[in-house]
């Protein structure tokens, strides 16, 4: 059966967690409804959904699959994107914002993309997907910045040295952590970094993944980093993990270095507004995953680097802006939208 028009506000997600200690585990429902609406409509679809599918990385990969489907069947005519979902639903907290769209099977061309913030509408007639990206960029200036970074001849993504979820095979649930670790250091124990800056000690035999990383220097960062609608810091505070250390799945490690100074310099880089802005383009929820670093350029963190890592964070930012040839308005956008961290 086909319908001429399909209009709706589908259910967004359902919890699939069977544990009170992991309430965030959920299945995304609206991508299923979006695809079904498009396939059962003969002409047009109008829906309101969370915007996190634009660039997000859902646990069930449904956002990636939805983007691929829309990319291959792109008849999007109009898209209104509210970065703050409370402008649409005042009593609901929808991280990553809210959008409504008109999908017209008789239309092929550029989308009228309208960003709405504090009642102000910014209208762009543009491609929904840019040629070299598999995500939807909410603002054209974001794309211009990304393009300069990605087109650099030496671009390698920080993603390549970032480990994914549960990097060492240690689940962060309290009962699991307490069963394999202790509060005081014992002979041959290694450091176990847990959530909320807790440090415990465990045995090497309990580490089942990335064992080669135990005796390297790395940087730890929390997988949870506040509200993307409000938190202008974007990610948590990074800190150096020394030789003989691992972390639970509440954190994830970045880098694998022979020297401590390289890890220290990476931690400095992760505090820059430049890096955190690039992350903010992709980060659509409070959880930080490895994928959010896909557009962040890897740097040389040794003494041979073209960046003087002895400088302050703000001075390093200036070097990065110059390195990637950012314009004054692009720099102003980054400086005004990201909170400083020293």
Per-residue pLDDT tens over the stretch 176-208? 999 999 999 988 899 999 987 899 999 999 999
Sign of CA dihedral 229, 230, 232, 237: negative
218 with 303, same domain: the answer is yes
Residue of 6 and 22 predicted with greater confidence: 6
Residue-level pLDDT at 289:
80
Token pair in block for residue 143: 């794309």
The reply to whether 302 falls in a domain is: yes
22 with 107, same domain: the answer is yes
- Beta-strand relationship, 111-117 and 26-28: unpaired
The reply to whether 342 falls in a domain is: no
Residue-level pLDDT at 256:
97
The reply to whether 166 falls in a domain is: yes
- The Cα 252–Cα 222 span in angstroms is 7
Question: pLDDT digit string (tens) for 137-158?
Answer: 988 999 999 999 999 999 999 9
Q: In the predicted model, what is the mean pLDDT of residues 10-32?
A: 74
129 with 226, same domain: the answer is no
41 with 180, same domain: the answer is no
Q: In the predicted model, what is the mean pLDDT of residues 309-331?
A: 98
183 with 258, same domain: the answer is yes
Question: pLDDT digit string (tens) for 120-132?
Answer: 999 999 999 988 7
Does residue 20 surpass a pLDDT of 70?
A: no
Does residue 25 surpass a pLDDT of 80?
A: no
- With contact defined as beta carbons under 8 Å apart, do 41 and 3 qualify? yes
The reply to whether 204 falls in a domain is: yes
Q: What whole-number percentage of the chain has pLDDT above 90?
A: 79
Interhelix angle 273-282/140-150, rounded to 10 degrees, is 120
- The Cα 335–Cα 276 span in angstroms is 11
117 with 37, same domain: the answer is yes
- The Cα 47–Cα 229 span in angstroms is 21
- The Cα 126–Cα 76 span in angstroms is 11
Question: pLDDT digit string (tens) for 216-264?
Answer: 999 999 987 755 556 678 899 999 999 999 999 999 999 999 999 999 9
Question: pLDDT digit string (tens) for 85-131?
Answer: 999 999 998 988 999 999 999 999 999 999 999 999 999 999 999 88
Q: In the predicted model, what is the mean pLDDT of residues 45-71?
A: 92
Q: Go through the chain and tell me how many residues it has.
A: 342
- With contact defined as beta carbons under 8 Å apart, do 145 and 137 qualify? no
The reply to whether 147 falls in a domain is: no
10 with 112, same domain: the answer is yes
> Based on the structure, what is the number of domains in the chain?
2
Residue-level pLDDT at 170:
96
- With contact defined as beta carbons under 8 Å apart, do 61 and 48 qualify? no
Token pair in block for residue 293: 């670093």
Q: In which band, very low, low, confident or very high, does the pLDDT at 282 lie, cut at 50, 70 and 90? A: confident
Sign of CA dihedral 179, 182, 187, 188: positive
The reply to whether 153 falls in a domain is: no
The reply to whether 313 falls in a domain is: yes
The percent of the chain in helix, strand and coil, each rounded to the nearest 5, is 30, 25, 45
Other Cβ atoms less than 10 A from the Cβ of 177: the count is 19
Does residue 15 surpass a pLDDT of 80?
A: no
Q: What whole-number percentage of the chain has pLDDT above 70?
A: 95
From 137, 168, 192, give the residue that closes a domain: 137
Does residue 22 surpass a pLDDT of 60?
A: no
Domain that holds residue 215: 158-337
The reply to whether 294 falls in a domain is: yes
Give alpha helix (H) positions in the chain: 30-40, 62-72, 140-150, 174-180, 260-269, 273-282, 313-323, 328-337
85 with 226, same domain: the answer is no
- With contact defined as beta carbons under 8 Å apart, do 298 and 161 qualify? yes
The CATH number that applies at residue 56 is: 3.40.50.150
Q: What mean pLDDT, rounded, does the chain reach? A: 92
Residue-level pLDDT at 23:
53
- The Cα 6–Cα 43 span in angstroms is 9
97 with 224, same domain: the answer is no
103 with 184, same domain: the answer is no
Q: In which band, very low, low, confident or very high, does the pLDDT at 283 lie, cut at 50, 70 and 90? A: confident
Query: Closest by alpha carbon to 80, among 103, 107, 57?
Result: 103
- The Cα 184–Cα 83 span in angstroms is 46
45 with 127, same domain: the answer is yes
206 with 127, same domain: the answer is no
């Amino acid at each position: 059966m086909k319908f001429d028009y399909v209009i709706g506000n589908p259910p967004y997600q359902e919890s699939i967690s069977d544990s009170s200690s992991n309430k965030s585990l959920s299945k995304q429902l609206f991508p299923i409804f979006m695809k079904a609406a498009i396939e059962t409509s003969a002409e047009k679809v109008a829906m309101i959904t969370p915007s996190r599918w634009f660039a997000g990385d859902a646990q069930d990969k449904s956002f990636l699959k939805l983007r691929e489907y829309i990319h291959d069947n792109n008849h999007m005519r109009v898209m209104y994107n509210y970065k703050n979902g409370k402008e649409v639903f005042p009593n609901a907290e929808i991280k990553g914002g809210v959008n409504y769209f008109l999908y017209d099977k008789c239309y092929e061309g550029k989308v009228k993309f309208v960003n709405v913030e504090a009642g102000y509408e910014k209208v762009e007639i543009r491609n929904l997907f840019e040629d070299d990206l598999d995500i939807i960029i909410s603002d054209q200036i974001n794309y211009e910045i990304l393009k300069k970074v990605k087109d650099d001849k030496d671009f390698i993504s920080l993603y390549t040295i970032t480990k994914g979820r549960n990097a060492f095979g240690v689940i962060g649930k309290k009962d699991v952590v307490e069963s394999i670790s202790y509060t005081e250091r014992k002979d041959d124990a290694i450091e176990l970094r847990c959530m909320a800056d807790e440090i415990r000690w465990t045995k090497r035999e309990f580490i089942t993944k990335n064992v080669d990383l135990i005796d390297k220097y790395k940087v730890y960062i929390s997988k949870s980093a506040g509200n993307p609608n409000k938190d202008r810091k974007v990610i948590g505070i990074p800190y150096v993990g020394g030789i003989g250390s691992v972390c639970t799945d509440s954190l994830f490690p970045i880098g694998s270095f022979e020297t401590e100074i390289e890890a220290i310099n990476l931690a400095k880089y992760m505090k820059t507004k430049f890096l955190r802005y690039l992350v903010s383009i992709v980060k659509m929820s409070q959880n930080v995953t490895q994928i959010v670093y896909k557009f962040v350029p890897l740097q040389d963190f040794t003494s041979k680097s073209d960046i003087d890592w002895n400088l302050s964070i703000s001075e390093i930012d200036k070097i990065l802006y110059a390195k990637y040839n950012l314009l004054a308005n692009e720099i102003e956008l980054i400086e005004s939208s990201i909170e400083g961290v020293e």
